[in-house]
Each structure stands twice: as structure tokens, then as C-alpha cells.
């Protein structure tokens, strides 16, 4: 098994990619700290991990709150004595309804979205790093987004924060390499998770949107699943990547291969949705 005896903290792991990553790590022998905003939801996933035969604790903490983050790190150290792997996964666009272009963005929304998607991962990393430095070992994985490098809709705060994640990855990798701490990022393409609840409710409309995106934007012609991100995360968390740091892995169905102009216009879709005529744009 690739992660035997290791301990991983995965933020936002009650749902979606975080849950997929945590489960995949557990299958490889890893013990887990399951973090999310809801203790009940985190407990459910911690229970799944235990039923896979691994140890797990659930910790309720908002990654944008430095006190809660520090308490989470202390809870992890108390339970396991170390943190080998940190996956900075929590993030998203809740409450934005897809808005965020130069005509409609507000500075309050900017602060909130940048807090969640850039400052939060920074706070968690700064809290966990002393633990990794003490052990002279660590694998840190950040989750960015295709929108950071090739947006197909203008969401200024989210995409800027996710681009900042890439800068954080590269600078930290450079700084921490002598301490045997590896830092890499995954750039996911569209993945079917609760992330999309902030944009379109689950159901036929979401299916239509996904099939349009898959057909027009993804060379592999499908929407990703959490397991598609868990594979690259396992590589970056394990000794398979012991000569890899400061790297950015696109797990996006080949998306970076497409020219920008080939993308599906999700902004038009969301506008049409507000006017009750989505079928005309998919
Ligand atoms: N799904 C996609 O298409 C997609 C594409 C590119 C990047 N991403 C990124 O991938 C990561 C995982 O997203 P996902 O698709 O699994 O989303 P998701 O909504 O299914 O899961 C995110 C989890 O993070 C938790 N969370 C949110 N805010 C938090 C906070 N302040 N503190 C702690 N936990 C918090 C949520 O409760 C949720 O359980 C996010 O960073 C997201 O921005 C998603």
C-alpha cells in the first residue's frame, strides 16, 4: 500500500473531491483527519474511513478562521502525533450564483471568495507546517482550477484566488524543498460534485449543462468524477512523487489542449437560466 502509516489532513472532505481523496488515501493505508464546516457531515465520512479499516477523526473548522484552524491542527497532533500529508481542498463559489465579472463584482464578495479560496489554504498550511518541519517531512497538495489559467466565464475573485494558489505552490515548494517538504498543485477541470449546487440545482438542467460542457470543452468528452482527482492526489501524496515538487498537474480531461475560443459559454447559460430559457443555449 502506498500510504501505509501516513496521516493526512484533507480540508473540506465531507463532500466531493475531498471525500474521494480521503477514501482513496484510506484504501492505501492512510489515517485521516476529515474536516468540514458541518461536524455531522465530517463524521459520516470519518465513519466511512473507519469502515475501510483506518483511523479517522472528524474536525469541524472553517478554514478562514485562524483559531479554528489552529484547534484543528492541535486535535490532529493530539490524536496522531503528526501530519504527513495536507490536501488544501476546501473551496468553491457558494453564494455567488456564478456572478463575479467586472460589471457586478463587489468588494465584499471579493473579500469573501478570496478568503475562502486563497487565505484559507494559506492559514491551514501555515498552521500545519511547524508539525511537518518538526518531522522533516511533508507532502502538501493544493487544489486550483482551470479558471485560474484558462477561464471560460469571468469570475474574477475565484479565478484570481485559484491563480494565487499556483503562486503559493511554487514559492512554498522552492522554500521548503531543503526541509523535505513537497508542494504541488492539481488543476481540476469540471468535476461532478456539490460545488455545482452554487450554480445550477441537480437535475435535468445540470445534466444538460454538463453534457454541453463535456461535448464542447473537454477533449475526453466527459465530466470528471472525484476519483479522477484522487488518483493524481495519491501520486503527489506518496513516494511515487519523491522527485516532484513545485509542479502543477492538470486533471482536466485534456482541457488545456483546447484554444480559449472553443469553450462553452456558461455565462450565457446562467443568464438564460435566469430568464427560464436554458434549452436554447445548450
Ligand atoms: N467541482 C469542480 O468542477 C471544480 C473544478 C475546479 C476546482 N474545484 C475546486 O476543488 C475543490 C473541491 O471542490 P468540490 O468540487 O469537491 O466541492 P464540494 O462543494 O463538493 O466540496 C467542498 C467542501 O468544502 C467544504 N467547505 C467549504 N467552505 C469551507 C470552509 N470555509 N472550511 C472548511 N470546509 C469548507 C464544503 O462544505 C464542502 O464539503 C474546491 O477548492 C473547488 O474550488 C472544483
Cβ contact 122:171 at 8 Å: no
Query: Does any domain span residue 280?
Result: no
3 state SS of 35: strand
3 state SS of 243: coil
User: What does pLDDT average to over the chain?
Assistant: 95
* Spatial distance between the Cα atoms of 58 and 52, rounded to a whole number of angstroms: 15
Q: Which residue has the higher pLDDT, 49 or 279?
A: 49
Q: Which tens digits make up the pLDDT trace of 115-135?
A: 999 999 999 999 999 999 999
Would the CB of 193 count as within 6 Å of ligand 1?
A: yes
Total count of domains within the chain: 1
Which of the four pLDDT bands, split at 50, 70 and 90, describes residue 261?
A: low
Query: Does any domain span residue 181?
Result: yes
Query: Does any domain span residue 41?
Result: yes
What is the 2 CA–ligand 1 centroid distance (Å)? 25
260, pLDDT greater than 60? no
279, pLDDT greater than 70? no
DSSP conformational letter for 191? B
pLDDT of residue 274: 81
pLDDT of residue 67: 98
Catalytic site includes residue 158:
yes
Q: What is the CATH number of the domain that holds 94?
A: 3.40.50.720
Cβ contact 179:217 at 8 Å: no
Cβ contact 156:102 at 8 Å: yes
Query: Does any domain span residue 266?
Result: no
pLDDT of residue 139: 99
In this prediction, residues 15-28 reach a mean pLDDT of 98
pLDDT of residue 99: 87
42, pLDDT greater than 70? yes
The percent of residues above 90 in pLDDT, for the chain, comes to 86
Query: Does any domain span residue 20?
Result: yes
Query: Does any domain span residue 270?
Result: no
Q: Identify which of 281, 148, 108 has the alpha carbon closest to the alpha carbon of residue 209.
A: 281
Query: Does any domain span residue 142?
Result: yes
pLDDT of residue 280: 64
What is the 148 CA–ligand 1 centroid distance (Å)? 15
* Nearest atom of ligand 1 to the alpha carbon of 198: 19
- This prediction has a pTM of 0.94
Q: Helices then strands (H, E): number in the chain?
A: 9, 7
Domain range enclosing 165: 7-197+223-255
Catalytic option among 137, 158, 182, 250 = 158
94, pLDDT greater than 70? yes
pLDDT of residue 281: 65
DSSP calls for 44-88 = HHHHHHHHTT--EEEEE--TT-HHHHHHHHHHHHHHHS---EEEE
DSSP conformational letter for 117? I
Q: Which tens digits make up the pLDDT trace of 151-201?
A: 988 999 999 999 999 999 999 999 999 999 999 999 999 999 999 998 899
What is the 125 CA–ligand 1 centroid distance (Å)? 17
Would the CB of 209 count as within 6 Å of ligand 1?
A: no
Amino acid at each position: 500500500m502506498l500510504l501505509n502509516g501516513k496521516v493526512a489532513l484533507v480540508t473540506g472532505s465531507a463532500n466531493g473531491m475531498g471525500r474521494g481523496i480521503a477514501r482513496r488515501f484510506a484504501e492505501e493505508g492512510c489515517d485521516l483527519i476529515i474536516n468540514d464546516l458541518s461536524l455531522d457531515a465530517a463524521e459520516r465520512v470519518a465513519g466511512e474511513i473507519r469502515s475501510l479499516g483506518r483511523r479517522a477523526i472528524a474536525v469541524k473548522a472553517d478554514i478562514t478562521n485562524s483559531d479554528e484552524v489552529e484547534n484543528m491542527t492541535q486535535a490532529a497532533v493530539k490524536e496522531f502525533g503528526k501530519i504527513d500529508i495536507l490536501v488544501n481542498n476546501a473551496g468553491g463559489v457558494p453564494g455567488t450564483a456564478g456572478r463575479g465579472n467586472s460589471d457586478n463584482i463587489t468588494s465584499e464578495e471579493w473579500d469573501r471568495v478570496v478568503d475562502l479560496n486563497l487565505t484559507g489554504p494559506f492559514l491551514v498550511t501555515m498552521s500545519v507546517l511547524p508539525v511537518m518541519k518538526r518531522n522533516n517531512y511533508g507532502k502538501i497538495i493544493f487544489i486550483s482550477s482551470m479558471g485560474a489559467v484558462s477561464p471560460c466565464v469571468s469570475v474574477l475573485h475565484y479565478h484570481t484566488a485559484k491563480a494565487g494558489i499556483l503562486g503559493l505552490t511554487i514559492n512554498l515548494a522552492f522554500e521548503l524543498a531543503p526541509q523535505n517538504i513537497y508542494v504541488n498543485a492539481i488543476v481540476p477541470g469540471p468535476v461532478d460534485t456539490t460545488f455545482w449546487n452554487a450554480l445550477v440545482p441537480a437535475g435535468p438542467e445540470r445534466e444538460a449543462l454538463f453534457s454541453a460542457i463535456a461535448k464542447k470543452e473537454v477533449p475526453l468528452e466527459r465530466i470528471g468524477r472525484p476519483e479522477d482527482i484522487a488518483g493524481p492526489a495519491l501520486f503527489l501524496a506518496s513516494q511515487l512523487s519523491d522527485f516532484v515538487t513545485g509542479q502543477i498537474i492538470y486533471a482536466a480531461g485534456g482541457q488545456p489542449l483546447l484554444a480559449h475560443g472553443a469553450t462553452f459559454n456558461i455565462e450565457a447559460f446562467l443568464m438564460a437560466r435566469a430568464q427560464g430559457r436554458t434549452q436554447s443555449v445548450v
